[in-house]
């Protein structure tokens, strides 16, 4: 049995509970709803027949406070609340860092990286070049660090990818989503580049504003991406692919399936001894995320990668 520890939590992120429930196959919907995530309780209930991953269990949880840890433990039948990182390190085989506050990821990850435990870090991995350099250095030393958006495994995008040849030469991909660039733009970006087999980005320009990001990304081969992240629009995640011979628009709705597949890929990675997502792909994506922030700060100036 692979013993997994979960580290949480950041405001608005239900992954410590939902991902633990997906692995353990048990959840308390009332407690999850009481935490402020009724939609999570609903999708777990709807997908109850496929909950639970054989050969793995979340056995420990550790967060910034005992009360938060105990609340999460109760939502997904996690048996142990760790007092600190050291207690978790001594009792688990791998760790899920289920926080999406990238400014804290290095500090939260470091004890587990130093201990040599396989570690998955929720998106985005980081938001500065300094932090990216840290993770790159640790991976070069042989440390196991995996990070990606679950959109890499979205079933809606897998359907597009399976028919990618019918598009002919891809010319343009657009995306529209709600919320902020760093936490949610990475979903659209990673989902799109996974469909396109992770082409190399060469230039980024953010012509939007803090709450209305409009980011143009140019890739080798000429394909253009235009991603719009607006805080105040209705919740949606829509992606449109335009080739010379075909086009398609998809809306991402099945969060449960992509979360489950992401977790499965991490577990497979642990069993195989290395991440199944090449870090070079993650590094490209994070560099684009950072470049878009730099471009916005520079008044929409193009940033070459």
pLDDT digits over 263-284, tens only?
A: 999 999 999 999 999 999 999 9
Query: Where do the domains of the chain lie?
Result: 2-150+257-277, 154-252+287-304
Tell me if 132 sits within 8 A of 286, measured CB to CB. Answer: yes
Task: Give me the pLDDT at residue 195, please.
Answer: 98
What CATH architecture does domain 2-150+257-277 belong to?
3-Layer(aba) Sandwich (3.40)
The model's pTM is 0.96
CATH of domain 154-252+287-304: 3.30.360.10
Other C-beta atoms closer than 10 Å to the C-beta of 65 total: 9
Longest dimension (CA), the chain: 58
Instruction: Give the separation between CA 133 and CA 82, rounded to whole angstroms.
Output: 30
- Conformation bin of residue 296: beta by default, left when phi > 0, alpha when psi is -120 to 50: alpha
Each residue of 108-130: pLDDT tens digit?
999 999 999 999 999 999 999 99
Output the tens digit of pLDDT for each of the chain's 305 residues.
Answer: 999 999 998 988 999 999 999 999 999 999 999 999 999 999 999 999 999 999 999 999 999 899 999 999 999 999 999 999 999 999 999 999 999 999 999 999 999 999 999 999 999 999 999 999 999 999 999 999 999 999 999 999 999 999 999 999 999 999 999 999 999 999 999 999 999 999 999 999 999 999 999 999 999 999 999 999 999 999 999 999 999 999 999 999 999 999 999 999 999 999 999 999 999 999 999 999 999 999 999 999 999 99
């Amino acid at each position: 049995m692979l013993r997994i520890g979960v580290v949480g939590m950041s405001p608005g992120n239900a992954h410590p509970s939902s991902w633990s429930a997906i692995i353990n196959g048990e959840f308390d919907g009332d407690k999850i709803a009481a935490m402020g995530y009724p939609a999570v309780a609903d999708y777990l209930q709807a997908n109850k027949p496929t909950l639970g991953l054989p050969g793995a269990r979340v056995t420990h949880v550790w967060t910034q406070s005992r009360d938060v840890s105990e609340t999460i433990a109760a939502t997904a039948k996690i048996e142990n609340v760790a007092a600190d990182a050291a207690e978790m390190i001594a009792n688990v085989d791998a760790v899920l860092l289920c926080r999406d506050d990238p400014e804290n990821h290095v500090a939260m990850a470091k004890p587990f990286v130093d201990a040599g435990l396989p570690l998955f870090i929720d998106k985005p991995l980081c938001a500065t070049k300094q932090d990216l350099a840290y993770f790159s250095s640790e991976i070069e030393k042989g440390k196991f660090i995996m990070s990606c958006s679950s959109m890499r495994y979205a079933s809606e995008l897998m359907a597009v990818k399976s028919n990618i040849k019918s598009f002919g030469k891809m010319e343009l991909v657009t995306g529209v989503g709600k919320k902020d660039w760093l936490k949610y733009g990475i979903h659209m970006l990673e989902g799109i580049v996974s469909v396109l087999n992770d082409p190399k980005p060469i230039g980024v320009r953010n012509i939007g504003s803090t709450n209305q990001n409009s980011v143009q990304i140019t890739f080798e081969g000429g394909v253009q991406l235009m991603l719009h992240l607006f805080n105040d629009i209705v919740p949606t995640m829509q992606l449109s692919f335009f080739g010379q011979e075909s086009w398609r628009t998809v809306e991402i709705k099945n969060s449960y399936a992509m979360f489950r597949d992401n977790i499965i890929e991490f577990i497979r990675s642990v069993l195989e001894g290395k991440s199944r997502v090449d870090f070079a792909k993650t590094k490209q994506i994070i560099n684009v995320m950072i470049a878009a922030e730099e471009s916005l700060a520079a008044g929409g100036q193009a940033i070459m990668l």
